[in-house]
């Protein structure tokens, strides 16, 4: 398997992510009780880069808010053993030296105000999954891809 075509491991993972992450995850803030469906969409999975978009819209508030966050993870700058699954149905990608992950955020309130597009270098990125079992099922495949992206000695 060599990027950018990726080979069968990439193809299988891309197909699984397109199917499983093309659905809505419904979230409720435990403090404010604001409900927001979140749509996860795979943007890119090639050349050792995984990218996805999270689009959410609040439902039961006086000011409708739409948030669009996009994450890009460079597998060449990550260790396979550092990727793990959290208890909240998320695959956790670390970014301790702030070189492996970039994220962007755009916020729109009441379909009128649009916040400025902002680029960040977060300390980690969580990729939400529909269930803990699904997130756990992705772990081995993601680690294998990260291993294949490491520079050869």
Q: Per the structure block, which two tokens stand in for 80?
A: 């396979």
Q: List, for residues 17-50, the tens digit of each pLDDT value.
A: 766 555 567 777 778 888 888 888 888 887 789 9
| Residue 111 belongs to a domain | yes
Confidence category of residue 77, pLDDT binned at 50, 70, 90: very high
Q: How many domains in the chain?
A: 1
Q: Per the structure block, which two tokens stand in for 105?
A: 């955020």
| Residue 112 belongs to a domain | yes
| Residue 85 belongs to a domain | yes
Label residue 98 left, alpha or beta by phi (over 0 means left) and psi (-120 to 50 means alpha). Answer: left
pLDDT of the residue at 70: 93
pLDDT of the residue at 7: 65
| Residue 1 belongs to a domain | no
Q: What angle do CA 129, 135, 139 make, to 5 degrees?
A: 140
Q: Are 49 and 72 a contacting pair, CB within 8 Å?
A: yes
Q: List, for residues 103-151, the tens digit of each pLDDT value.
A: 998 888 876 666 677 888 999 999 888 788 888 888 888 898 898 888 8
pLDDT of the residue at 83: 94
| Residue 2 belongs to a domain | no
DSSP assignment of 45-88: EETTEEEEEEEEE--SSSS-EEEEEEEEEEGGGS-GGG-EE-TT
| Residue 62 belongs to a domain | yes
Domain that holds residue 118: 7-149
């Amino acid at each position: 398997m060599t990027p950018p075509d990726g080979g069968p491991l990439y193809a299988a993972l891309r197909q699984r992510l397109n199917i499983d992450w093309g659905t809505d995850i419904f979230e409720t803030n435990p403090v404010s009780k604001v409900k927001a469906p979140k749509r996860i969409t795979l943007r890119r999975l090639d050349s050792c880069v995984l990218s996805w978009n999270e689009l959410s819209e609040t439902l039961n508030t006086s000011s409708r808010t739409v948030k669009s966050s996009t994450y890009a993870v460079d597998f060449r700058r990550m260790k396979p053993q550092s990727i793990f699954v959290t208890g909240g149905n998320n695959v956790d990608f670390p970014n301790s030296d702030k070189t492996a992950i970039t994220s962007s955020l755009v916020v729109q309130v009441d379909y009128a105000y649009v916040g400025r597009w902002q680029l960040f270098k977060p300390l980690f990125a969580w990729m939400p999954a529909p269930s803990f079992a699904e997130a756990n099922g992705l772990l081995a495949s993601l680690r294998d891809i990260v291993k294949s992206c490491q520079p050869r000695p």
